[in-house]
């Protein structure tokens, strides 16, 4: 599947921002800890969600999805190993380890997949499980975890990994005694998972801080959850609006705190952002301010928006620099942007961007989800039309990027 997108002179209209991918996936995994029926509202219609449901079905969990409502019935749940063919299709499959350990004290699953943005080790996840008394072995891409009694522990995370924090929260929810996670991630996705776990009967203190104290329980009830908006999708559209004369209303922004860091960067780029209730009105004349930017763990600017920021800065009035501090290989967008006339230079973990007077439509390849979204942004900024190959990557996280931008007046279509 490819996307054809043409240069656009202005964007105007309303976008209903989809539910968050990276929030809902850990919560789907967490339902493994429960007995009963859970309803997850505002669940995005994206392939990662559907693959996660296929994995749950192997555990004899019934799932039903319609109109952004996901119903999960764990009443007949039974243990089973999870095969590589499915686990390798998404990163979040690794969270099934923590949830299965929390439920059964054992798990056997294939290696996780996910976007190719670096090595993406899971050593911190495994170190934490080890501290909880889990024996771990890896053979032929299969991870086997077993323990006699999953035991709460005091664990120092040497890096605030989002996935490791979520995985250890899930395991700790079913462990005996108290777990203390020091140096935990503070991302909104972690906060939402903590709140959900509290709602099913786990006791978690320190939510939103780097020290989480978890008191698990052997008896967790099912609960409904209303998913938050996807801050990365909202941020993608805000960044695009900075580079193209725009007047856009984003709806569904129910917690402004989760997006403050992104608003601050967009304001530096020249975007005017006005909030009213749960909407944001974003306006610009398309003149992008140059500057130096860096990604970081929350509340810093999110790494997931780095490729889109790089694309947008091609239009800036001067030289800019963007430094990546989270993943080691998130610059795959640079080569593709060069194909469209972008003037960029990578040195170490920074990319230096010069104003590119002419971005010209061409043929480019999506290689991961956010890089693909950045190419859509570049296509909108270019003169002429751009074909983005392998657009299925983009659909992994953006439910409706083509429709959303079409509704704003852009010429964009799947081909």
**102 binding ligand EPZ? (CB under 6 A):** no
| 170/93 Cα distance (integer angstroms) | 13
**164 binding ligand EPZ? (CB under 6 A):** yes
Residue pointed to by tokens 């190959």:
389
**Stretch of 155-163, 215-223, 267-275, 387-395 lying at the interface with ligand EPZ (CB under 6 A):** 155-163
Number of H helices, E strands in the chain: 14, 23
Q: Which two tokens stand for residue 120?
A: 């993406």
What crossing angle do the helices spanning 162-173 and 21-30 adopt, rounded to 10°? 20
Provide, rounded to whole angstroms, the least separation between the CB of residue 122 and ligand EPZ: 5
**123 binding ligand EPZ? (CB under 6 A):** yes
**292 binding ligand EPZ? (CB under 6 A):** no
What crossing angle do the helices spanning 95-104 and 162-173 adopt, rounded to 10°? 10
**304 binding ligand EPZ? (CB under 6 A):** yes
**115 binding ligand EPZ? (CB under 6 A):** yes
Q: What backbone torsions phi and psi does residue 342 show, to the nearest 5 degrees? A: -70, 145
**162 binding ligand EPZ? (CB under 6 A):** yes
Which of 11, 72, 122, 202 contacts ligand EPZ by CB under 6 A?
Answer: 122
Annotated catalytic residues are 115
**18 binding ligand EPZ? (CB under 6 A):** no
Nearer to ligand EPZ, 119 or 219 (CB): 119
Provide, rounded to whole angstroms, the least separation between the CB of residue 284 and ligand EPZ: 25
Nearer to ligand EPZ, 359 or 388 (CB): 388
Provide, rounded to whole angstroms, the least separation between the CB of residue 164 and ligand EPZ: 5
Number of residues that bind ligand EPZ (CB under 6 A): 28
DSSP assignments along 219-279, one per residue: --B---EEPPB-HHHHHHHHHHHHHS-EEEEEE----GGGGHHHHHHHHHHT-EEEEETTE
**120 binding ligand EPZ? (CB under 6 A):** yes
**3-class DSSP state of 127:** helix
**376 binding ligand EPZ? (CB under 6 A):** no
Which of 27, 212, 214, 326 contacts ligand EPZ by CB under 6 A?
Answer: 326
Q: Tell me which residue has its CB nearest to ligand EPZ.
A: 163
The closest of 256, 245, 258, 248 to 287, measured between CA atoms, is 245
Task: Using alpha carbons, list the distances in angstroms from residue 214 to 100, 177, 186, 207.
Answer: 17, 9, 15, 10
| 388/395 Cα distance (integer angstroms) | 13
| 45/162 Cα distance (integer angstroms) | 23
Q: What backbone torsions phi and psi does residue 333 show, to the nearest 5 degrees? A: -70, -25
**186 binding ligand EPZ? (CB under 6 A):** no
Residues forming beta bridges with residue 163, ordered by sequence position: none
Provide, rounded to whole angstroms, the least separation between the CB of residue 327 and ligand EPZ: 5
Q: Which two tokens stand for residue 301?
A: 């600017």
Provide, rounded to whole angstroms, the least separation between the CB of residue 305 and ligand EPZ: 9
**261 binding ligand EPZ? (CB under 6 A):** no
Nearer to ligand EPZ, 255 or 411 (CB): 255
Provide, rounded to whole angstroms, the least separation between the CB of residue 97 and ligand EPZ: 12
| C-alpha dihedral sign at 321, 327, 329, 334 | negative
**327 binding ligand EPZ? (CB under 6 A):** yes
The closest of 337, 353, 346 to 288, measured between CA atoms, is 353
CA 74 from chain centre, in angstroms, equals 25
Nearer to ligand EPZ, 121 or 318 (CB): 121
Nearer to ligand EPZ, 301 or 382 (CB): 301
**Stretch of 53-61, 122-130, 212-220, 277-285 lying at the interface with ligand EPZ (CB under 6 A):** 122-130
Residues forming contacts to ligand EPZ in the complex (CB under 6 A) are 22, 25, 91-92, 115, 118-125, 159, 161-164, 187, 189, 302-304, 326-327, 369-370, 397
């Amino acid at each position: 599947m490819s996307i054809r997108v043409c240069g656009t002179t202005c964007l105007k209209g309303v976008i209903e921002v989809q539910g968050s991918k990276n929030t809902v996936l850990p919560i789907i995994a967490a339902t493994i800890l429960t007995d009963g029926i859970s309803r997850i509202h505002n669940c995005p219609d994206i392939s990662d969600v559907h693959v996660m449901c296929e994995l749950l079905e192997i555990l004899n969990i019934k799932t039903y999805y319609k109109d952004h409502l996901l119903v999960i019935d764990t009443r007949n749940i039974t243990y089973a190993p999870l095969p590589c063919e499915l686990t390798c299709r998404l990163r979040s499959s690794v969270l099934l380890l923590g949830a299965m350990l929390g439920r059964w004290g054992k798990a056997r699953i294939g290696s996780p997949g996910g976007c190719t943005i670096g090595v993406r080790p899971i050593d911190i996840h495994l170190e934490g499980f080890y501290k909880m008394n889990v024996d771990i072995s890896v053979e032929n891409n299969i991870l086997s975890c077993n323990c006699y009694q999953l035991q709460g522990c005091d664990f120092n995370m040497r890096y605030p990994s989002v996935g490791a924090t979520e995985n250890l929260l899930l395991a700790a929810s079913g462990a005996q005694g108290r777990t203390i996670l020091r140096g935990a991630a503070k991302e909104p996705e972690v906060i939402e998972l903590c709140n959900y776990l509290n709602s099913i009967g786990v006791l978690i203190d320190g939510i939103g801080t780097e020290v989480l104290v978890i008191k698990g329980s052997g008896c967790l009830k099912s609960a409904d959850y209303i998913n938050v908006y996807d801050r990365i999708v909202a941020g993608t559209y805000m960044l695009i609006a900075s580079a193209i004369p725009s007047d856009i209303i984003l709806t569904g922004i129910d917690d402004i705190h989760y997006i403050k860091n992104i608003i601050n960067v967009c304001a530096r780029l020249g975007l005017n952002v006005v909030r009213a209730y749960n909407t944001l009105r974003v306006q610009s004349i398309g003149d992008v301010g140059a500057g130096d930017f860096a990604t970081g763990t929350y509340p810093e600017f999110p790494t997931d928006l780095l490729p889109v920021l790089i694309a947008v800065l091609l239009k800036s009035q001067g030289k800019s620099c963007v430094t990546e501090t989270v993943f080691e290989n998130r610059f795959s967008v640079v080569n593709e942007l060069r194909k469209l006339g972008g003037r960029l230079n990578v040195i170490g973990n920074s990319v230096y961007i010069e104003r590119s007077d002419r971005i010209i439509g061409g043929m480019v390849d999506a290689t991961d989800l956010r890089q693909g979204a950045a190419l859509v942004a570049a296509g909108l900024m270019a003169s002429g039309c751009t074909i983005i190959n392998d657009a299925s990557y983009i659909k992994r996280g953006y439910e409706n990027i083509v429709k959303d931008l079409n509704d704003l007046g852009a010429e964009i279509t799947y081909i």
